[in-house]
Amino acid sequence: MSSNLLEGRIPPSLSNCSSLLILDLSSNHLTHDVPSELGSLSKLVMLYLGINNLTGQFPASLGNLTSLQELDFGYNRMEGEIPDDVARLTQMVIFQISLNSFSGVFPPGVYNMSLLKYLSLPGNSFSGNLRDDFGDRLPNLRRLLLGINQFTGAIPITLPNISSLERFDTSDNHLTGSIPLGFGKLPNLWWLGIQYNSLGNNSSTDLEFLSNFGNVFKGLLGPENKLVAVKVLNLLKHGSMKSFLAECEAFKGIRHRNLVKLITVCSSLDSKGNEFRALVYEFMPKGSLDMWLQPEDLERANNQPRTLTLPEKLNIAIDVASALEYLHVHCHDPVAHCDLKPSNILLDDDLTAHVSDFGLARLLYKFDRESFLNMFSSAGVRGTIGYAAPEYGMGGQPSIQGDVYSFGVLLLEMFTGKNPTDESFAGDYNLHSYTKSVLSVNEETGGSKAIDEGVRLVLQVGIRCSEEHPRDRMRMAEALRELFSIRSKFFGSNTTIRVNPSG
């Protein structure tokens, strides 16, 4: 019963459905409080009440649902503290209560959910400290989202013990202290959001990981106080300052409307005599593409309460393809990006896409070869699992064919809505094979709308780009031509054609 126009209260009489396993009333216009009677649905496994106008408090009676594995109360107007009764929900895997008005300390009962993989509390009024043994109590977390609250104290030192952690966001709180050692050793972590806190100045040993190549800060430049993004690089090799500056100067000569502009370079010594190297880029106000593809981050995309339309997605795909085609074909020396993923695609006010971090793989390969090889090891590409070409996991060097693979995965993610790291993918079953199976079923049933045909053609481009063997992949120029053709034929009346290849 989700995504309808249901209004009014949730009927307490639903408690009579004693054999109910799944109750999904999300994305409606339901009001008032959550009936305490739902706590008698002892067999319930999934309870989805998100994206409504529910008020009142979290019913303590829901602690009786000891079989419950997934709960979503996000995007409502509920308030009050989370009752300790949730400690009995020991089978919980997903606990999502973001964007409400819940308050109090971090819910103590949640520490008892040792099987939890997804915990989302952003946009509430939780306060107080997080327990030091946080990571030991919740060892299976993959996503831990605590942003836009009022948490204080230090980031728990045990969080790096969560080896499965992929995404940690505690931005917009009042945290203090340093970032715990060990985040850089987490093999699956690809997002670390810690901005807008009161964290102290971290040394390079404290701040081991914010991105594959360095730490990004927002700053002001020059007398005009121009807003910029500053990437402080963590290159381990000392010396070679002249060579480093020469390499970066070459990047400044790489200009394309769909590449983030490198404004200037800094290479000097800090107050402790350590080498300090940073790149200063133009700032992109609409954030990164992954913020728009991940529903829980829509509120961070400059408060844009919507998802991207199909024409917008296609425009962004063409922007990215244009940038890669320029790097691969039109630069004096071909440049392999080597780390293409949604978080490295930034959007300006017009939702024009700009590819960032281009050339940094070459910097790392040249100035810190050991770190480069470790990053692209058989254990998986740190922060880029799902997007990196298979050959990188076998010691392959940066290549434009690897970029084509990453672009293909990106296309498939944008137009299927499936993340390449989805839990359903394992072994040889991945986003590429999933999409091929979807298209096979679609061909058997037949698509009735022109837009269906357009999306099918886009997905075919994604499949051809993400073939396992480099020799079987399309070239980026060919992929770009295909996407231009699809946009002209199926989306031409809904979008603006942008054809300037190198302006």
DSSP category for residue 11: P
Q: Strand runs (DSSP E) across 129-209, as ranges?
A: 143-145, 150-153, 167-169, 174-177, 191-193, 198-199
Which has the closest alpha carbon to 248: 231, 236, 228? 231
Q: Which of 72, 169, 172, 339 is catalytic?
A: 339
On whether the CB atoms of residues 416 and 431 are closer than 8 A, the answer is yes
Angle ∠(393,394,397) on CA atoms, nearest 5: 85
Cα-based distances in Å from 274 to 205, 207, 218 = 12, 15, 22
Q: Is the dihedral of CA 451, 456, 462, 465 positive or negative?
A: negative
Q: Is 72 a catalytic residue?
A: no
On whether the CB atoms of residues 126 and 145 are closer than 8 A, the answer is no
C-alpha 349: how far from chain center: 20
Which has the closest alpha carbon to 216: 349, 63, 357, 112? 357
Taking only Cα atoms into account, the Rg of the chain, rounded to an integer number of angstroms, comes to: 24
Which has the closest alpha carbon to 32: 53, 15, 12? 53
Burial of 332: CB neighbours in 10 Å, binned 0-12, 13-18, 19+: exposed
Burial of 273: CB neighbours in 10 Å, binned 0-12, 13-18, 19+: exposed
- Distance, in Å, from the CA atom of 124 to the CA atom of 105, rounded to the nearest integer, reads 11
Which has the closest alpha carbon to 343: 383, 303, 400? 383
On whether the CB atoms of residues 229 and 217 are closer than 8 A, the answer is yes
On whether the CB atoms of residues 277 and 244 are closer than 8 A, the answer is yes
**What amino acid positions are annotated as catalytic residues?**
339
